[in-house]
Amino acid sequence: MTDLDISPSVGQELPERYVHLLKEVLSFSLWDGQDGAVWRGRKSAQILQRLLERRNLSVARIISPEVRQNGQDWPRLAHTMVGAKRLDNLQECIETILLDGVPGDLIETGVWRGGSCILMRGILAAHGVEDRRVWVADSFSGLPKPDPARYPADTGDRHHTVTELAVSLAEVKDNFRRYGLLDDQVRFLPGWFSETLPGAPIERLALMRLDGDMYSSTIEALSALYPRLSDGGFCIIDDFGAVEGCRRAVEDFRAAEGINAPLVRIDACGAYWRR
């Protein structure tokens, strides 16, 4: 896509500064890696971790700014594990649909602590947009167990065992509240994607950001939501380069639907295309 000129004029300077600061705070980038990262090692290390957790302690390491920018760690405190490149891409896509007048709402499927959705709402607020909603879709209890009979590509997938990926609806709402961005323009869709997305009360989308990791979570979101994506809208896939099942789901869906729009890589993990 063409680079968007977001050089702030006098009238735009404060909103642009706000969005920049919002991204820095959401990713904890202001603290130069002092956030650390979840440390997950061998069995002996995991036992040590559990002992420390009983005392509200944890094992962490200092993360370089470059690692955080590329979203290659699992932070302890940040509200998003998405790096600067993917946050910048999200901002650019949103501001492009606003400039081009692409109709529809914004959605993320698989939100973790809510950081990317908080950024979506913050960008709408910065531009004074009141006629679009941000949809926040997640089980809020982690990822589903694989169903190899239905989705063979998920055979052996272990995402459902990763407790760090389970963030409650109450916590995500509280994170929105901390930024002053929990209002009627934010709508939550709690539950498995197969149950919530097909009947979700969404008429049109201008942007869909999928972060479901697994084949099942990705293909279910694409099947339910892509028909509602407006021409000129964006489909962003967070885990395209990181999870094999996700990549296969995207390639299978694009092939089945005859989608030939260029698939653009954002960084080592993310990719997107414009409809």
**Domain assignments of the chain as residue spans, ordered by start:** 84-274
Assigned token pair, 247: 């990549």
- The four Cα atoms 185, 183, 220, 196 give a dihedral, to 10 degrees, of -110
| Range from 95-104, 139-148, 203-212 carrying the lowest mean pLDDT | 139-148
Residue predicted with more confidence, 132 or 61:
132
Residue 47 has pLDDT above 90, yes or no: no
pLDDT attached to residue 32? 61
pLDDT attached to residue 33? 55
Residue 53 has pLDDT above 80, yes or no: no
Rounded to two decimals, the pTM is: 0.85
pLDDT attached to residue 8? 46
Q: What percent of the chain has pLDDT above 90?
A: 66
Is residue 149 classed as helix, strand or coil in its secondary structure? coil
Which stretch of DSSP H or E encloses residue 170?
helix 169-178
pLDDT attached to residue 35? 60
DSSP code of residue 261? S
Q: Which CATH number fits domain 84-274: 3.40.50.150, 3.40.50.410, 1.10.10.10, 3.40.718.10?
A: 3.40.50.150
pLDDT attached to residue 163? 83
Residue 21 has pLDDT above 90, yes or no: yes
| Range from 10-14, 114-118, 255-259 carrying the lowest mean pLDDT | 10-14
Residue 233 has pLDDT above 80, yes or no: yes
Residue 215 has pLDDT above 70, yes or no: yes
Residue predicted with more confidence, 200 or 44:
200
Phi-psi region of 82 (alpha: psi -120 to 50; beta: other; left: phi over 0): beta
pLDDT attached to residue 188? 98
Average pLDDT over residues 83-110: 97
Q: What CA–CA distance (Å, rounded) separates 233 from 179?
A: 27
Assigned token pair, 169: 């609806």
CB atoms within 10 A of CB 198: 11
Q: What is the DSSP string of 95-140?
A: HHHHHHT--SEEEEE--TTSHHHHHHHHHHHHTT--S--EEEEE-S
Residue predicted with more confidence, 226 or 44:
226
Under the banding of pLDDT at 50, 70 and 90, the label for residue 34 is low
Average pLDDT over residues 226-232: 98
Residue predicted with more confidence, 100 or 70:
100
pLDDT attached to residue 70? 56
Is residue 66 classed as helix, strand or coil in its secondary structure? helix
Under the banding of pLDDT at 50, 70 and 90, the label for residue 6 is very low
pLDDT in tens, 140-159: 999 999 989 999 888 898 99
Residue 12 has pLDDT above 70, yes or no: no
Residue predicted with more confidence, 198 or 164:
198
Assigned token pair, 82: 């998405």
